[in-house]
Structure 1
């Protein structure tokens, strides 16, 4: 009971702590919010144009909102619960591979990882991916030890769901391939794994192919930098060092009470930590794609190996060995307290659409039009439409729902200029700073404002800028 209850309880406490993040919602969560409020048919129409990689998640969140209503807690609670499930499954996997103390240590280590805490409180799919990769890993360990068709089918289903939530999770399949080879599985097990893996890949292939046509959505990702490379190297190096501990290598004298399993903890955990991170980093040398959240599930491997390290230290401590886990957990939580506090503030994310909407609500009473630069900042109105009541969207030609997009389709340059000139007072929602517009439509908006309007007020809060312009000529 403690094996599962401890990790799950810790994950829930950390996940629920400050879950509303000072009543803020950043741009990625705003995409979830507006997509989940569409019908299933409208979501299907949208993913044909954008965000096909998140289509299943949007459908799930549509159901969550329909059942429990929409709120910041409802938006993020599935991620909290998924993280708790991932911690429980990690504990079970560690216990099966190397004993109860390894399992408890691994299950408690996972929710403490800062990146896991961050995405446990985010209305996106990454915590759910983490949970299904954890489930697939647990099923793989069981199937390699005692194979049967039901376990391989469950393994394939878990991998497929993870891939449909975000197909970068297929890097976990590559890690599992290494684990399977290291287990020397024999012909029957090899065939079972190959069939399960083939089924998962085949099921996810349509999403992968469609997403290639939507590659422009990740064009904002920057090339690999040294901080990212260093972070990957440090994580993998720590994992490799932990993999040398006795509980990771699993000598027989530590496990006389049970049959020696077909695969060691190191053979499961080290590939799961290293292969996704190194693989995505290698791909990013050709096309920049590396973002930590895309391979968040790699921390499952790190947590398992930390659990092995803690169990090894517990065995070697002669006085009060059982105090090691609670003492280590307390020290880790206290050491990370500044990070934990920051993650639960609005400033921990790029921006906050709710604060921007409240700024618009205060500025809109004397205005008759609104503009967004870039058009993606229209998410402010899509999340809080009541705050924009009475404002005419001067550039919009086709709504996001009708067009099957997240930001709508804007009118031509001349139509935008004409609409801007027809307004008397305009609210502009944009980003902080004075960066030049990166599209002809946005440059047309800026030009019309500069030629015919004067700035009357300007507010910058939580990563968004709301300005009011008044017509002067």
Structure 2
């Protein structure tokens, strides 16, 4: 064995650097000043329920996130509820995604392309947002990265039953976490077309993909009955497509700079479909039913990172003949410059203000303002998530509108009494705490129950304390003297 070979074998694996880089970005400011916003509050409160209660809820609402809720329930049981337990799975998942993108880029376009792709992924603003989010989107990205790496392995001639089984399992798990992730299958089909895959590869891919899709199909069909959950998503507009257009333009430039080796799959053939197909697919679906949210296709940014890495690798190769030593510093310098340029955004995404609201901050106000015998109301009823995430802050308060608890009703916000009963109950109270949205994000009351709550408070009660913090508001009312 030559000394050169020995050095190569002792060298750290290339994927380790982007993995540690992404972990560092994820752990930086992980608690967001101990804040949890409404989407994460849903994860938190459901994860604290028993498996039977979660299963009961999935029959009514949020079936699409069932697997994720059960996973988080297990983690909360083992490690306890905390912002770290809530978000660390996303950090670890995105670190795995960065490692897979690095290996994929290395195989397709060389060392510098792989390293650049892995480092670029963690810096993408959308990735930095969902990297620290207690929701399943980073886990989906990890599964998509694994399945893409496995597909590349197959195209390189490393096919085998075990790899196909792993590919199908990764696609299946992604689909069960978010069935829109199945759009990775037409992206991979485009790659097979681009690389002129053999008939045997097509046959095995089609069979594996069909099996994975069949496994997700019951969830797709059942979750369609809960489509009211996404009725709040606005219809697609032209300005909403600016973001995807910019991403596709950047990715297209990276694809043009790709210089593939003859007889091998290229970074463009893998990265461009992975970026473009989910983005365009979601736009197409949103023309039928509004579903256009970037988090649903977060995994498509794996393709963008791969194409950015390819462009960086091309630049390093072009500079090497004339500047052999300086070319080795090109990628580190670009990463540092990009990190510095994105620092304001990175800091902003790690602040509580990066989210609509904070359920923990307003709970602290409730704890401070409440008195023995007080009642509490929530407008809208979904703001009950504050009490569900921080029940100790509401100890001693009577939730006078609640008729059936979220756990018993199998819902996220519980079932409230009718407007007439809420009115009568309120008029018997001396002090009421109202938990609602802060003025800048509040919407007019839509439900009749909520209109009754606000009108009774306005007509028969006087405000004695009013505090707004991080998108939430708690107001203390006292009954006027007759």
What TM-score comes out, normalization by structure 1 length?
Answer: 0.96
What TM-score comes out, normalization by structure 2 length?
Answer: 0.94
**CA distances 1:388-433 after superposition (whole Å, capped 9, x unpaired):** 1111001100000111111001111221111111111000001123
Which of the numbers 63, 84, 90 marks the counterpart of 2:74? 63
Runs (5+) with no aligned partner, structure 2: 1-11
How far apart, CA to CA, are the structure 1 residues paired with 2:54 and 2:381? Answer: 20
Residue in structure 2 matched with residue 47 of structure 1 by the alignment: 58
Which of the numbers 443, 447, 460 marks the counterpart of 1:439? 447
DSSP-derived class of the 2:370 partner: helix
Query: Do structure 1's residue 334 and structure 2's residue 340 form an aligned pair?
Result: yes
Query: Do structure 1's residue 189 and structure 2's residue 201 form an aligned pair?
Result: yes
Which of the numbers 442, 462, 479 marks the counterpart of 1:471? 479
How far apart, CA to CA, are the structure 2 residues paired with 1:269 and 1:292? Answer: 18
For the 8 Å contact 1:366–1:425, the answer to whether it is kept is no
Shift of residue 17, structure 1, vs aligned partner: 0.4
How far apart, CA to CA, are the structure 1 residues paired with 2:417 and 2:225? Answer: 24
How far apart, CA to CA, are the structure 1 residues paired with 2:23 and 2:221? Answer: 36
Residue in structure 2 matched with residue 199 of structure 1 by the alignment: 211
How far apart, CA to CA, are the structure 2 residues paired with 1:182 and 1:237? Answer: 19
How far apart, CA to CA, are the structure 2 residues paired with 1:110 and 1:227? Answer: 25
Number of equivalent positions = 463
How far apart, CA to CA, are the structure 2 residues paired with 1:216 and 1:333? Answer: 40
Residue in structure 1 matched with residue 48 of structure 2 by the alignment: 37
Shift of residue 304, structure 1, vs aligned partner: 0.5
For the 8 Å contact 1:367–1:427, the answer to whether it is kept is no
Query: Do structure 1's residue 138 and structure 2's residue 149 form an aligned pair?
Result: yes
Residue in structure 2 matched with residue 422 of structure 1 by the alignment: 428
Which of the numbers 439, 448, 469 marks the counterpart of 2:456? 448
Q: Which moved more, 1:380-389 or 1:436-445?
A: 436-445
Matches within 5 A, 1:196-345: 196-245=208-257, 248-252=258-262, 260-261=263-264, 263-317=265-319, 318-319=322-323, 320-345=326-351
Which of the numbers 374, 381, 403 marks the counterpart of 2:380? 374
Shift of residue 366, structure 1, vs aligned partner: 5.4
Q: Which moved more, 1:101-110 or 1:329-338?
A: 101-110
**CA distances 1:229-256 after superposition (whole Å, capped 9, x unpaired):** 11111110111111011xx34044xxxx
DSSP-derived class of the 1:130 partner: helix
For the 8 Å contact 1:367–1:426, the answer to whether it is kept is no
DSSP-derived class of the 2:31 partner: coil
Runs (5+) with no aligned partner, structure 1: 253-259
Query: Do structure 1's residue 72 and structure 2's residue 83 form an aligned pair?
Result: yes
How far apart, CA to CA, are the structure 2 residues paired with 1:265 and 1:162? Answer: 23
How far apart, CA to CA, are the structure 2 residues paired with 1:31 and 1:235? Answer: 30
How far apart, CA to CA, are the structure 2 residues paired with 1:164 and 1:212? Answer: 14
How far apart, CA to CA, are the structure 1 residues paired with 2:427 and 2:327? Answer: 75
**CA distances 1:79-127 after superposition (whole Å, capped 9, x unpaired):** 1100100000000111121222211111111001011111111111011
DSSP-derived class of the 1:297 partner: helix
Q: Which moved more, 1:140-149 or 1:90-99?
A: 140-149
Residue in structure 1 matched with residue 468 of structure 2 by the alignment: 460
How far apart, CA to CA, are the structure 2 residues paired with 1:4 and 1:420? Answer: 60
How far apart, CA to CA, are the structure 1 residues paired with 2:129 and 2:365? Answer: 27
How far apart, CA to CA, are the structure 2 residues paired with 1:420 and 1:143? Answer: 66
How far apart, CA to CA, are the structure 1 residues paired with 2:429 and 2:162? Answer: 65
How far apart, CA to CA, are the structure 2 residues paired with 1:224 and 1:331? Answer: 35
Summarize the Cα distance change of 1:367–1:349 in structure 2 as closer, same or farther, 3 Å threshold. farther
Shift of residue 469, structure 1, vs aligned partner: 0.8
Shift of residue 447, structure 1, vs aligned partner: 2.1
